[in-house]
Structure 1
Amino acid sequence: MNIIEIVNKQVLTIENCDREPIHIPGSIQPHGMLLILSPENGVVRYCSANTYQFIDKQPVEVLGKSLTDIHPALWEKIQPLLHADNSPFHPVPVGDLHVTIHASGEFRILSLEKRLDHEDDPDYAFDQTRGFIGFIERSRSLKDLCQNIAVETARITGFDRVMIYRFDKDYNGEVFAESRREDLPPFLDLHYPHTDIPAQARELYLRNLLRLIPDVQYEPVPLLALATESIQQPDLSDVILRSVSPIHIQYLKNMGVSASMSVSVIMEGKLWGLIACHHHQPLYLSARQKKAALLQGHFLSSQIRVQQVAEEHVINVNVEAHLQQLLNRIEQDEDMSQKFEQFSSLLAVTNATGVAMLHEGKIYEMGLVPSREKILGLIRWVGENVKSSLFSTSCLSKRYPEGAAMSKYGSGVIFHAMGKPTDSCVIWFREELELTVKWAGRPETSIGKNNGDKPLTPRKSFEIWKEIVKQQSAEWRASEINAATRFATSLQNHFHLTYLRNEENRLRVLNERLQQANQELSNINWITSHDLKEPLRKIQLMSSRIVYEGGDNLSDVIKIHIEKIRNSASRMQHLVDDILSYSMMNNRNNMFTLGDLGPIIADVKAELEEELSNKKGLLSVQSMPQSLRIVVHQMGQLFSNLISNSIKFAQPGVSPEIYINCQVEKGRDIREVALPADKNFYCIRISDNGIGFEPRYNEKIFDIFYKLHDRDTYAGTGIGLAICKKIMENHQGAITASGEIGKGAIFRIYLPVE
Structure 2
Amino acid sequence: MPDAERGIQPAAAHPYQACVNAAILRKLLEVTAMQEATPPVDLDACEQEPLAFSGSIQDVGGLIATKANDGSVCYLSDNIERWFDIPPDPKTPTLDSLFFDNCDYFSHRQRSIFKGKHFLIANVTSNRGVEGDVMLSVNESLHIYEFEPKPSPATPENKTAESAPGFVHDSNKLPGSIEVEKLIRRIHALTHYPKIMLYRFLDGDAGEVVAELSDPGLASYQGLRFPASDIPQIARALYIDNPFRLIFDTQMPTSQVKGLSAEPAEVPDLSLSTLRSVSPVHLEYLGNMGVRSSASFPVVVMGRLWGLLALHAVTATPIPIAQRVAVTAMIEQRLARELMNSQINEDHALFNSNAERLRFCAKALIAMRDGDTDVPLPNGLFELVDCDALIVNLNGECIYRDELIEPEAAWAITEVGRREASRNVFKTDSLARYMTQTDALRQRASGLLYCSCGPDTAGPQLEIMWLKSEQTVKVSWAGKPDKVHSEINGETRISPRRSFEAWNDEIYGHSDAWDSSNVMLASKLMVAVLTRSVG
Tell whether 2:486 aligns with 1:457: no
Separation (CA, whole Å) in 2 of partners of 1:399 and 1:48: 45
Aligned equivalent of 1:11: 39
- Helix, strand or coil at the partner of 2:41: coil
Aligned equivalent of 1:235: 269
- Does the CA-based 8 Å contact 1:2-1:228 persist in structure 2? no
**What one-letter code is carried by the residue in structure 1 that aligns with 2:64?**
L
- Does the CA-based 8 Å contact 1:37-1:43 persist in structure 2? yes
- Helix, strand or coil at the partner of 2:495: coil
Aligned equivalent of 1:153: 187
Separation (CA, whole Å) in 2 of partners of 1:384 and 1:40: 52
- Does the CA-based 8 Å contact 1:34-1:109 persist in structure 2? yes
**What one-letter code is carried by the residue in structure 1 that aligns with 2:295?**
M
Report the CA distance between 1:240 and its aligned residue. 0.8
2:53 is aligned, of 16, 21, 24, to: 24
Separation (CA, whole Å) in 2 of partners of 1:230 and 1:310: 56
Separation (CA, whole Å) in 2 of partners of 1:107 and 1:278: 31
- Does the CA-based 8 Å contact 2:482-2:497 persist in structure 1? no
Report the CA distance between 1:75 and its aligned residue. 3.2
TM-score, normalised to structure 1's length?
0.46
- Does the CA-based 8 Å contact 2:447-2:468 persist in structure 1? yes
Q: How does 1:306-317 map to 2 (within 5 A)?
A: 306-317=341-352
Q: How does 1:723-738 map to 2 (within 5 A)?
A: none
1:115 is aligned, of 124, 145, 150, to: 150
Aligned equivalent of 2:309: 275
Distance 1:217 1:409, change over 3 A: same
Tell whether 2:247 aligns with 1:213: yes
Aligned equivalent of 1:717: none
Separation (CA, whole Å) in 2 of partners of 1:165 and 1:7: 37
Separation (CA, whole Å) in 1 of partners of 2:434 and 2:77: 55
Report the CA distance between 1:261 and its aligned residue. 0.9
Distance 1:82 1:50, change over 3 A: farther
**What one-letter code is carried by the residue in structure 1 that aligns with 2:41?**
T
Tell whether 2:157 aligns with 1:91: no
Report the CA distance between 1:216 and its aligned residue. 1.6
Q: How does 1:459-538 map to 2 (within 5 A)?
A: 459-470=497-508, 472-477=510-515
- Does the CA-based 8 Å contact 2:429-2:511 persist in structure 1? yes
Separation (CA, whole Å) in 1 of partners of 2:431 and 2:245: 40
Distance 1:438 1:89, change over 3 A: farther
Distance 1:236 1:60, change over 3 A: farther
Tell whether 2:210 aligns with 1:182: no
- Helix, strand or coil at the partner of 2:512: coil
Separation (CA, whole Å) in 1 of partners of 2:91 and 2:325: 34
Separation (CA, whole Å) in 1 of partners of 2:429 and 2:477: 22
Distance 1:460 1:386, change over 3 A: closer
Distance 1:61 1:212, change over 3 A: farther
Distance 1:401 1:320, change over 3 A: farther
**What one-letter code is carried by the residue in structure 1 that aligns with 2:106?**
L
- Helix, strand or coil at the partner of 1:19: coil
Aligned equivalent of 1:592: none
Separation (CA, whole Å) in 2 of partners of 1:223 and 1:413: 47
- Helix, strand or coil at the partner of 2:53: coil
**What one-letter code is carried by the residue in structure 2 that aligns with 1:114?**
P
Separation (CA, whole Å) in 1 of partners of 2:35 and 2:404: 62
- Does the CA-based 8 Å contact 1:33-1:112 persist in structure 2? yes
Distance 1:485 1:380, change over 3 A: farther
Report the CA distance between 1:313 and its aligned residue. 3.7
Report the CA distance between 1:444 and its aligned residue. 2.8
- Does the CA-based 8 Å contact 2:120-2:133 persist in structure 1? no
Which protein is bigger by CA-based radius of gyration? 1
Separation (CA, whole Å) in 2 of partners of 1:109 and 1:483: 44
2:318 is aligned, of 269, 284, 305, to: 284
**What one-letter code is carried by the residue in structure 2 that aligns with 1:22?**
L
Higher fraction of helix: 1
Aligned equivalent of 2:14: none
Aligned equivalent of 1:297: 331
**What one-letter code is carried by the residue in structure 2 that aligns with 1:48?**
S
Report the CA distance between 1:291 and its aligned residue. 1.2
Separation (CA, whole Å) in 2 of partners of 1:292 and 1:237: 21
Separation (CA, whole Å) in 2 of partners of 1:113 and 1:485: 47
**What one-letter code is carried by the residue in structure 1 that aligns with 2:55?**
G
Separation (CA, whole Å) in 2 of partners of 1:234 and 1:286: 25
- Helix, strand or coil at the partner of 1:153: helix
TM-score, normalised to structure 2's length?
0.63
Report the CA distance between 1:260 and its aligned residue. 0.9
Report the CA distance between 1:474 and its aligned residue. 2.6
Distance 1:382 1:3, change over 3 A: closer
- Does the CA-based 8 Å contact 1:396-1:404 persist in structure 2? no
**What one-letter code is carried by the residue in structure 2 that aligns with 1:66?**
P
**What one-letter code is carried by the residue in structure 2 that aligns with 1:215?**
D
- Helix, strand or coil at the partner of 2:482: helix
- Does the CA-based 8 Å contact 1:432-1:472 persist in structure 2? yes
1:200 is aligned, of 217, 221, 234, to: 234
* Deviation by residue 1:274-327 (Cα, 9 ceiling, x = unmatched): 11111111112223311111113313334433322323344455556899999x
Q: How does 1:612-651 map to 2 (within 5 A)?
A: none
- Does the CA-based 8 Å contact 1:82-1:108 persist in structure 2? no
Task: Provide the aligned length of Structure 1 versus Structure 2.
Answer: 420
Report the CA distance between 1:217 and its aligned residue. 1.1
Aligned equivalent of 2:100: 75
Separation (CA, whole Å) in 2 of partners of 1:253 and 1:230: 35
Separation (CA, whole Å) in 2 of partners of 1:103 and 1:485: 36
Report the CA distance between 1:211 and its aligned residue. 1.2
Q: How does 1:54-65 map to 2 (within 5 A)?
A: 54-55=83-84, 57=85, 61=88, 64-65=91-92
**What one-letter code is carried by the residue in structure 2 that aligns with 1:249?**
L
- Helix, strand or coil at the partner of 1:91: strand
Separation (CA, whole Å) in 2 of partners of 1:190 and 1:166: 11
Report the CA distance between 1:218 and its aligned residue. 0.4
Unpaired runs of at least 5, structure 1 = 119-138, 327-342, 357-374, 417-426, 488-754
- Does the CA-based 8 Å contact 1:262-1:275 persist in structure 2? yes
- Does the CA-based 8 Å contact 2:64-2:77 persist in structure 1? yes
**What one-letter code is carried by the residue in structure 2 that aligns with 1:31?**
V
- Helix, strand or coil at the partner of 1:200: helix
- Does the CA-based 8 Å contact 1:98-1:115 persist in structure 2? yes
- Helix, strand or coil at the partner of 1:154: helix
Aligned equivalent of 1:100: 135
Aligned equivalent of 1:258: 292
Higher fraction of strand: 2
* Deviation by residue 1:143-170 (Cα, 9 ceiling, x = unmatched): 5655554333223222111112222343
Tell whether 2:475 aligns with 1:437: yes
- Helix, strand or coil at the partner of 2:118: coil
Separation (CA, whole Å) in 1 of partners of 2:291 and 2:503: 20
**What one-letter code is carried by the residue in structure 2 that aligns with 1:25?**
S
Separation (CA, whole Å) in 1 of partners of 2:89 and 2:101: 17
- Over the matched positions of the two proteins, sequence identity in percent amounts to 26
RMSD of aligned C-alpha atoms?
4.9
Q: How does 1:270-669 map to 2 (within 5 A)?
A: 270-299=304-333, 300-317=335-352, 376-378=403-405, 404-405=439-440, 433-445=471-483, 447-453=484-490, 455-470=493-508, 472-477=510-515
Unpaired runs of at least 5, structure 2 = 1-28, 126-130, 154-172, 362-378, 391-401, 416-424, 452-464, 526-535
Separation (CA, whole Å) in 1 of partners of 2:285 and 2:206: 16
Tell whether 2:84 aligns with 1:47: no
* Deviation by residue 1:218-277 (Cα, 9 ceiling, x = unmatched): 011223455845433222222211222222222211211111111122234432221111
